[in-house]
Chain A
Amino acid sequence: MTDLPRPHAHVHLGVFFQGVNHSTIWSDPASGSQTDVESFRQIVQTAERGLFDAFFLGEGLRLREQNGLLHDLDVVGRPDAITQLAALAAITTHIGLVATQNVTYNDPADLARRLASLDLLSGGRAAWNIVTTDNAWTGENFRRGGWLDHSLRYVRAAEFVRAAQAIWDGSPGELVRFSGQTLEIAVTPTVPRSPQGHPVLFQAGDSPDGRDFAASHAEVIFSAHGTDYDDALAFADDVRARTVAAGRPEDDLKILPGTQFVLAATDEEAREKARWVKEQQVTPATALSLLGQVWGEDLSGYDPDGPVPRHDPVIKEIGQTRGTVRHGPDPRAIAQAWRARAESENLSIRQLVIAQERQRGFVGSSATVAEELIRWVRTGASDGFNITPWIVPGGLDDVVDTLVPELQERGAYRTEYTGSTLRDHLGLRDPLTRRTPSSVGATV
C-alpha cells in the first residue's frame, strides 16, 4: 500500500440528519420522533461515541409541494438548525455542529452573529453549510421576497461570505464595513472569536459555478459523489484543480460526499438488507409520487402494482415538485426509457421505481465496507463520508459499533479525539482570512 497517494490518511465521518426526502424510513417500528429533542440527543451522542467529525443539519425554508399541494409522503418539519445545534452543543463535548443556512433569505449581520454565537458556546465546533438560492417561491416567506436575480446567485453568496468573514475578523466595539453589488453594511460585531477562529465553511454546489465557489471560499465540500468510485475520483480531481487555480493548496478543501451505509454480518446479508431498505423507502404512495415527478402530473390514482402510464408526460416550463432538486433533461425521453424498461422486464410501477432508484452508497459487511472506505480516502476520492441514516435515531448504531472498530483496526480512524475544535478534527488550516505565511504550511 506504499504507492498510495495518501497511505496514512484517516477516514472522516459525519452524520447528516436530513429531515426530508424519502430516504428516511418513518414507517418502521424503530423509527422515532423526527422532532423531539430526545431523537437528536440520541443520534448526536451516538455519533460522538463513534468519534465522528461532525453532526450536520439540513434546512429548507418552505415546506415542499407537489402539484400545488404540500408533499405529505416524506418526513416533514424540522427544527431551526442553529437553535437545535446550540442545544446539542451543551450535551456534547467534541463533535462538530454544522448548520445549513441560506444566503438569500438571511442578513449577514444576523447570521454571522448567530453562527459566531454557536461557535463560541460550543468551544469552536460550529460550521456553516452555505446554500444559495434565487427561488422566489421560498422568498414568499421573507421580507425581501424573490429579490435575487438568478445571475447574481453566486455573487450574493461570495459577498455574503466575505461580509461574514469581515464581521468575524472584527472585534466587539469596532465598526466593520462591507459593500458589494448585493449588500452594503456597517456592523459592530458583538461576539468574540472562538478557539477555531471562524466557523468552518461547508458548501454543496455541484455545478461549475458551485465548484468554483467552493474552491474559492469553502473548507469542506459536501458532495453528491458518494456511490461510484470513478465518479468520486473525477469529482475530487476536478475540485482539487479548481482549488489550486484559486490560489490555495490542493488539500485546503476537504471532500465529504453524502452517502449511506448498509451493513450486515456478511456481504450477502447486506445486499438483502439493501433491497429491504429500498422497498421501505419506496412505499406504494412514494412510487406513484416519484413516477408523477417524471411524468409531470398527479398519478396518485394509478395502481402502484399495475403497469406504468401509456401516455407521454406533460411538458411544462417549471417542474411540478418545488423545494427539491430534481431536474431532468428531456422528460419525454426519460419517461419512454422508463416505460421501455418496465415492459422488457415486466415491472409494475413500484417495481420499476425501485429498480430505477440507484443503490446509494456502500453495501456490505463492516470489514468489506471498511476496506472500501479506506481505498477511497487513501487514493484521494474523498476525505471521508457524510452518512444519512435511514432510521432515526437508531440508524447510526451499527456504524459506530461495527464499522468504526474495523476502520480503527486498520489504522484508518481516530481512536480518540486529539483536538477540541472541528477545525482540529478535519485537519483544516486557519480560516482563509486569518492566515499568516507560517500557518499556511502547517496542516495535518
Chain B
Amino acid sequence: MVLHLALEVDGAGAHPGAALATSIPADRLLSADHLRRTVAAAENAGVTLVTFDDSLVGPARVDALTRAAFVAPLTSRIGLVPLAHPAVIEPFHLASQVAALDHAATGRAGWLVGSGPVPGARAALDRPVADGQDLLDETGDVVRVVRDLWDSWEDDAVIRDTATGRYIDRDRLHYVDFTSGGTGPFAGPDLRDAPDGARAPFTVKGPLIVPRGPQGQPVVVARAGTVPADLVDIALVDTPQASGAPLTFLDLHVTLDTARATAADRLAALEDLAPSGDVLRWTGSPDGLVELLLSLRGAVDGVRLLPALLEEDLPELVRWVLPTLRVARVTPTPRPGATLRDTLGLPRPTNRHATLQETS
C-alpha cells in the first residue's frame, strides 16, 4: 500500500518559533539559492510534492507562486503546490497563474487553497475581505470558477489549420459566464466603506488567457471542510479520517532527534520562543516516525510533513526517514516525465465541454 509524502518548505520551518531559532540569515533564507537547495533536497529524497505557505502581508516571505515557478525548470519529478488565498487574489489571475505554473512545470502544478481569515488584507486591498461563513462560501465560488476557467480551453483548441488560416477552433473555447454569490455592490471604490467581512459578489467572463495545461486540471489541495469536497483533489486533515475527497493527506508536524539534541528538548526550546497551537505532532526519533508512517498506511493516502525547523529536521528526514520508506516501497518513485496527477494516481480529468460534445 502506497503512502505519499508531502513536505511544507516555507521559511525557516513550520513551528512559530522557527523564524527566531534559525541560524540562517534572513536574506539567505529568502534567497533563490536556498529555495533551490531546499526543493532539490525534497525531490532527491523522493517526496511527492512540496507546499509553499504564503501570506499577502506579514512576515518576510517571497510570493509562493513565484517561488514555485522559479523551481519548476530546476526540478523534474516533484509536485509544486503554492498556497494562494481565494479571498485575496483575483480569481482570473489565480487561474492564469496556476495554469502557467502547470505549463512551466510540465504538469507538476497544484494549488493549496488558503483558508481562514487574512489579517491585514482588507487594508492592503482597499476592499472588504470575506470572513466566517461568507469566506467559506466565497472560497467555494473561487475554486469553482478557477476550475471552470481551466476547462475553458479544450485540449485540442489550437488547430493551426493553414487551409482556413485559423490558429484556434473558436468552438473549442468557452466563456465561463460565472456569477458568484454575495451581496452589495461589486468590488470597487464604492466598497471602501463597506463593513469588514462583507462578501462582495463578482463575475468572470472567460475564457482563460492560458491554454489548458498538461494536467488539464492542476491538483487542488485544501484543508478538509474549507472547500466543497467535490472540488478538491487532496484534502488535508488533522486526524486520520475520511474526507470525501479523492485523496486524504494527514498534516503531521515533525520534530526529530538530532545528533546534538533530543526532539523533546528541541521542541521545548522552540516553544519557549513562540508557543505553537494544538497540532498533531511527532516528537522523537526518525525510526519512530518511520513506524508511525507505516502504521498510517490505509488510514490516509498521504502525510504532509511540516518540519518544525527545516535546517535541522529536513536533513534527518532525508537521511533516516525517506530512504527506509523507499526501500520498503511505501512511497512511490515518480516516473520521469510523470505529471503530479500520474504520481498521485489521479486520472487526467476530461474537459467538461468535450464530455458534453461526446454525449450530445
Contact = CB atoms under 8 A, between A and B. Distances in A.
Contacts of A70: 168, 170, 173, 207
Contacts of A285: 164-166
B186 A143 contact: yes
Contact of B126 (A80, A89, A184): A184
A87 interface: yes
B338 interface: no
Interface string A32-75: 00111100010000000000000000011111000001101111
Interface string A9-23: 000000000000000
A84 B103 CA distance: 9
Contact of B62 (A59, A91, A117, A185): A117
B204 interface: yes
Contact of B106 (A37, A86, A90, A184): A37
Given A90-B74, A118-B66, A172-B60, A145 B203 contact: yes
B120 interface: yes
A191 B126 contact: no
B160 A27 contact: yes
A100 to B, nearest CB: 12
Contacts of B56: 109-110, 113, 190
B200 interface: yes
Contact of B70 (A26, A27, A87): A87
Contacts of B157: 77
B296 interface: no
Nearest to B89: A110
A129 B210 CA distance: 20
A37 B70 contact: no
Contact of A77 (B36, B153, B170): B153
B92 interface: yes
Among A26, A41, A80, A286, the most chain B Cβ lie within 10 Å of the Cβ of A80
Interface string B20-36: 00000011001110011
Contacts of B31: 120
B57 interface: yes
B186 A144 contact: yes
Interface string A76-97: 1111101110111111000000
Contact of B204 (A63, A106, A141, A183): A141
B205 interface: yes
Contacts of B211: 35, 77
A123 interface: yes
Among A77, A118, A120, the most chain B Cβ lie within 10 Å of the Cβ of A77
B329 interface: no
A441 interface: no
A27 B162 contact: yes
Interface string B271-292: 0000000000000000000000
A117 to B, nearest CB: 4
A361 interface: no
Interface residues of A, number: 69
Given A80-B96, A83-B65, A188 B168 contact: no
A86 B70 contact: yes
A284 B164 CA distance: 8
Interface stretch (B187-195, B237-245, B247-255, B319-327): B187-195
A349 to B, nearest CB: 13
B124 A141 contact: no
Contacts of A205: none
Contacts of A184: 126, 192
A281 B252 CA distance: 57
A83 B66 contact: yes
A26 B74 contact: no
A187 interface: yes
B231 interface: no
Interface in A161-180: 172-173
A34 B127 CA distance: 36
Interface string B105-149: 110000000000000100111110000000000000000000000
A192 B73 CA distance: 24
Contacts of B106: 37
A284 B92 contact: no
B62 A87 contact: no
B168 A72 contact: yes
Nearest to B72: A87
Contact of A283 (B26, B165, B204): B165
Contact of B63 (A60, A113, A140, A284): A113
Interface of B: 26-27, 30-32, 35-36, 55-63, 65-67, 69-74, 88-93, 96-97, 99-101, 103-106, 120, 123-127, 153, 157-158, 160, 162, 164-170, 173, 186-189, 192, 200, 202-207, 209-211
Q: Nearest 4 A-B pairs (CB), nearest first?
A: A285-B165, A86-B69, A79-B100, A172-B60
16 contacts: A35-B158, A36-B103, A70-B170, A76-B173, A83-B100, A84-B69, A87-B72, A121-B35, A140-B205, A141-B205, A143-B90, A143-B127, A144-B186, A186-B123, A191-B63, A192-B60
Given A70-B173, A80-B100, 4 more contacts: A79-B100, A91-B74, A110-B56, A121-B35
Interface of A: 26-27, 34-37, 41, 59-63, 69-70, 72-80, 82-84, 86-91, 105-107, 109-110, 113-114, 117-118, 120-123, 140-145, 147, 172-173, 182-192, 283-286
